[in-house]
Each structure stands twice: as C-alpha cells, then as structure tokens.
Chains A and B, each alone.
Chain A
Amino acid sequence: MTTATAPDEQADEQADERVSSTSTFGRILKRPEVGALIAAITVFVFFAVITDVFVTPSGASTWLRSASTIGIMAVGVALLMIGGEFDLSAGAMTGFTGLAVGVMTTEYGLNVWAAMAVALVLALVIGALNGVLVMRTGLPSFIVTLGTFFVLQGIDLAVVKVLIGQVAIQGMSDVPFYDQPKALFGSALNVAGGNVYASVFWWIGVTAVATWVLLRTKVGNWIFAVGGAQTASRQVGVPVFRTKVGLFMTTAFAGWLAGMCLLFTTSTVQSNTGVGQEFIYIICAVVGGCLLTGGYGSAIGAALGALIYGMTNQGIVYAGWDNNWLKAFLGVMLLGAVLLNEWVRKRAETSR
C-alpha cells in the first residue's frame, strides 16, 4: 500500500522489469520444500563425513527404513495440515491397525488379507469420524483427535491385553499366507549389498501421488483453499465438508499403510507402537514447509522432513553419541522451520 502513490505507467514499467528478473532459480527458491532440501543435504554430508557406516549400503538401508514409515505418515499429516487440520491420533493409528491384523490372524485365525481389509475399513471409519466430529462441532481438530488418540491408545493396550493376554503380537510369521502381504509390505530388495525395504517404495509412491494430487488436481486446489480460507472456499462452491473429511480419512489410510509396513517388516507390533510419534509427523511436515495455520506446504517437503529425521536418528547412533541429542536436534529444527515458514507466509500475504 505504501507504493500506491506511484503513477500508473511508471508502476507498469517496473512490473515488466520484475517479470524478466524472476528467473527459474528464483522460482525454485520460492517452493516450500527448499528449506528442507538444504537441511537434508547438510545432515547427509555431516554424518557421511563424521561416521564410516552412514553411506555404506547397510548403513543407508537402516536410515532409509527408519525414514520410510515416518515419511508415509508425515505426507498424510502434511496433506491434512495444508487443509488446516491436525491429527494427533495418527501415531496410535499405526499401532492400532497393526495390532488389529495381528490379533485377528494369530488369535482368531482370520485370513490375513481379510484381516487387513477389516483393519483398513476400521481405520477409514475412525478417520471419517474424526473429520465429521471436527466439522459438525466446530471444535479444533487438535482437541477432537487428542480424544481419538487416547481412545486408540486405550484400545491398543487394554483391549489387546484382554484378547491375547499380552501387549505384543507373537507368531505372526506362522499365519497362513503370511508371505504374500510380507512380499508387498515387508520384503527387502538387495541393492549393492544393502536392503531397500518395501516401505521405502511405498514412501516414495505416497509422496509422488500426494504431490500429483496437491499440485495437479481439483482436489488439491480444494485442499489448499479449505486450509487457507474456509469461508471463502465455501462461497465459491468448494465442497469444504467432503474435502476435510476426505483428508482425515487419507491420514487414517496412511496410518494403516504404515502399520502394515511395520507389522510385515518386523512380524510383530507392540501395544505402544506409534504412540508419541504423532508430533514427529507434524515436525516433519513443518520442517518440510507446512504452515501450522494451513493453506501452504508440500508433500515432498514432508517426505524430506522424514528423511532428515531418519538420517539424524541413525546418524547419532553411528556417531556413538547419546541418543537424547536427537530430541534437542528435532527441537532446533522445528523452531528454525517455524520461523522460516512464518517469514515466507508474511511475505506471501502482505500487500505490495
């Protein structure tokens, strides 16, 4: 508004000059995932230099696997955050779906594929419930999904204990047809002496699909819109309710997918699997450029955030440091990312 006194013609001339100076490089710098990309490269180089195992095939396969399940979730959570909502039940969901399949197959002898289908339906119903509750009551999703989180955590611990008498799934690999879903979700491909787990491919696939949806489909346009300005979106005919409920269901689906990867990679799930991870997903999404206030962010960024987490998580082990440094590192990353994102948002929202 401060430049409003400049005469029209002059302003136009300046504008044209500015167009020609907006280089491709400048455009790339404006993408939300740039910060995460730079941070990821830095972290990679750092651990590659100070440890021996980090860049070896077996070393890399460990941090990639660690990044992959977190990454699947971080991408789902990022979509939801761009749509303006949070899901604190996302972590417990990974445990819940894994346990559900484990209990149904090992304890009740249900066919493994059928059990997976049932777990998927349960996850989607819980996701839809989250969404409908948030939209109907108008309560913040933070509170609604905190409730769902506690309910799921309670089920994971208490109900599982009542049903199978313990808090971890055992004998999963003896389940008939176990090998089929194992091949799909838990197998590993040997690349140059290191294992690349199926979850890594799922992670890449989920990131690619999410990026496509966000940037190139109607639904993606709606996700950005409902997160950025819900009332305005409704006024121009965006189906706000459907979009938001769909996002909660997508996060729940990611929870199921990550749960299956965990279950079939390790052939067990504990009752506390995923609990406490919900904030890691949010941190990954924020590090990847998502605004806490919604309407801005990227799936690739969230995937990079998860990569940073996985690399740091394992890098600290390889370096022989105290594992608690990870927490301090995450905190610093989060604060740095939030400050950077806030600056980007201010720039994007201010009138010139």
Chain B
Amino acid sequence: MTAHEKQAVEAEEKRTDTVADEPTSTDTPPPPGTPIIEVENIGKRYGNVIALSDVTTSVRAGEVTCVLGDNGAGKSTFIKILAGAHEHTDGELKIDGISRHLSSPRVALDLGIATVYQDLAVVPLMPVWRNFFLGSEPTKGFGPLRRLDVSTMKTTAKDELAAMGIDLRDVDQPIGTLSGGERQCVAIARAVYFGARVLILDEPTAALGVKQSGVVLKYIAKARERGLAVVFITHNPHHAWPVGDRFMLLRRGKSMGDFPKSEITLDKLTAMMAGGTELDALSKELESSLGADSELIRDMKAETRG
C-alpha cells in the first residue's frame, strides 16, 4: 500500500457515511450560460515548484470548457484544484459566485462537482448495474430484511445509460467486457445520475481509438445538452474542437489564453498547441483520422451544433 493509499484509509475511517442516496439530477438545471465555476489568476505551488500560475477561465452550465495542453502542462493540477484533490495556493476560485477553497473530493462532490479520472473507478468483474450504483446503493425493506432494490437498480442503470445514448445488450454483463469507450460512458452516466452539475473528465479519450473517442465525444455533447457544465481535459485539439464552447490553453503551467469558440479557429488552436512547427504533421494526422471515420464526425458535428 502506498503512502497515498494509507492516507485514504485514514480519511475513510474519519468519514461518516454521507454518501448521497438521493440523486439530485432531477432538480431543474440553471439556465445555460450561468457560470458555476469561475477561476481568476489561480495558481498552485508544490513547495518551490510552480505547477500552475495565472489561470483564468469559467465553467458554465450547458457549456463545455476544454483544457488543452501537452504532457506536463499542468492540466491535471488544474482539475485537481476544481475536484478538491489539491487546494490552490494563489488566486481565487469561485463556485456559484462564492469564493472557496475545496479541501476534499467529498466537498467538491457535495457542491455537485464530479470527476471521472482516467482509471474510471469501476470494478471489471462486477455487472454494469452493480458498478453503476457502487458506493450509493438504493435499498428497500427494514432491519435485517434491508436489501438492494435490484429491479430499480437494473432499470435505472439501463434507462440512465439509454438517456445518454448508450444502448447496452445487458446490464448484467461484467463491466470489464465493455469497450473502453463504453466504460467511460458508464462512468460519465453515473456521475450525471448522482447529481453532478459540473463534470470533470481527465483525458477521457487519451487511451481510445478514433471511433471510440467519437463515442465519448458524443456523450460529452449529450451531457452538455442535459444542462451540465463539462470540463474536458485533452491534449488533442481535434477532440476538443467539435464539442468545446470555450478553450483554455496551458503550456508549462501558464495559461496561453482563454477563448470562447467564436474568437478562435481550429487552425489557430492547433497552431497554438503545436507551437507552429509541428503543425503540418498534425494536420496530416487530422486528415487521416477524419478520413477513417468521416461519417461519424459529420454525425457528431450535426448533433453538437444543431
């Protein structure tokens, strides 16, 4: 067990059982465009390592904020501040207009900020429906007869996944048998169901092929349609562009700008990311990936713009 895990064990013991049993996703969402998270000149130092400085952006209901940057640019550091995993050391973090320091993931969750990390937090051998409710299982009955509400769990899991456009053969199959993209989508659907207003996705497409990335991007668009604010971390501008409403670029821990979609083009975004020199190679890569699955990309664009 690593030191980190041990810490987690201790934290867990202190934690009282506060897992929300009642999903809050049925609440009416705020009108699209309402800022939920605003950060101003935010920064994070690890001792004397400055991992992040002077980052300003906003995360709004019904919008997708893309955080772009190369490896080591500070993307994970940024979202860890939003997710409550690390507290920021500089600048200001406002949630619903109130200035805050998030001291733990639990605090962030209670504010409706859910994070889907790359390892997805699923148990591969367990059926999809058990995974969907893991840690917040609904029960019925009292005393020793208190038991899982299996039928509700199964139908809810199936319906929630269907609402996200994921049509599963069978919610009884082990989640390990789903494709990487499908698993990512189940994790997203779960966060949405358990009342997330803000959904943070750390490089959800990094380990996926072109087609599966497309599937995940579709669900990001779906989540936005449902009125959620999405923070989408990626190092691929071609994944960010079709779904993003706002683009924040990071390089070496510094913000290179925060642009609404109307103020930037894909070419400019790509150029800024690649620093100009690798632009050719990247645009070729773009062409080949678009060519391989152009129908899907068209679908996707139609859906996100329509």
Contact = CB atoms under 8 A, between A and B. Distances in A.
A binds B: yes
B224 interface: no
- Interface of A, secondary structure class, is helix
Nearest to B122: A232
Nearest to A82: B125
Contacts, number: 119
B21 to A, nearest CB: 10
Nearest to A1: B179
Interface in A210-264: 212, 216-218, 220-221, 224-225, 228-229, 231-241
A233 B125 contact: no
A184 interface: no
Interface of B: 1, 5-6, 8-9, 12-13, 15, 17, 19, 117, 119-126, 130, 133-137, 139, 146-148, 150, 167, 169-170, 174, 176-180, 209, 211-212, 296
B220 to A, nearest CB: 17
A218 B179 contact: no
A193 B296 CA distance: 73
Nearest to B172: A27
Contact of A229 (B17, B124, B133, B167): B124
A234 B12 contact: yes
B148 A351 contact: no
A217 B137 CA distance: 9
B120 A232 contact: yes
B185 to A, nearest CB: 14
A138 B5 contact: yes
A224 B177 contact: no
Interface of A: 1, 4-5, 8, 12, 15-16, 18-19, 22, 135-138, 212, 216-218, 220-221, 224-225, 228-229, 231-241, 291, 295-296, 345, 348-352
Contact of B174 (A138, A212, A231, A348): A348
Given A225-B126, A231-B5, 8 more contacts: A4-B212, A19-B170, A218-B137, A224-B126, A234-B12, A235-B121, A345-B125, A349-B174
A219 to B, nearest CB: 10
Nearest to A347: B177
Contact of A350 (B147, B170, B176): B176
Contacts of B180: 1, 351
Contact of B125 (A1, A136, A228): A228
